[in-house]
Amino acid sequence: MSDWATVIDAPLVEHRIGAETWKWYSLDGFPHVGIDMLVVDGPPEPFGKMIRYPAGPMLFPKLMPRGAILIDDAARTSEMEIVERWRWENPRLVVKTYDCEKGCLGLELDKQLIK
C-alpha cells in the first residue's frame, strides 16, 4: 500500500486557525508533497463538535489541482455544518453525494475555474 498512500499516526494537538483554537491532528511528520486524495474520517465526533473542520484550512492548500476530498459520516449534522463552512470559505468547492451507510461526500474544485 505504501506505493499509493501515506498513513501518518498523529496525536491531537491544538492549532490556531484565524481567531479560533481547534484540536486536530499534529502535522509533524507530514510529508512535503501535494495531496491527490484526502479522506477525512477522523477525529471521532465525541472529541468535539465540528472536530473535523481543521482538515479544510490545514490541508486544502496542499491539495493538487485535480485532487479529491472524501468526507465519511457525512450524513451527521456536524459533518454537514463542516462542509457548509468549507464551501463558504472555498466557493469553488463542488459537492458530490455518494450512497454510503453513514453518508459520504466528495468535494473537488470546480474544474471550470481551474486554469
Strands 63-72 and 35-40: parallel
Q: Cα separation of 22 and 31, whole Å?
A: 22
Point out the least confidently predicted range of 2-6, 11-15, 98-102: 98-102
Average pLDDT value for residue range 54-69 = 90
Domains and CATH numbers, the chain: 32-113 (3.40.50.150)
Instruction: List beta partners, residue 38.
Output: 69
What's the pTM? 0.84
Q: Cα separation of 62 and 27, whole Å?
A: 12
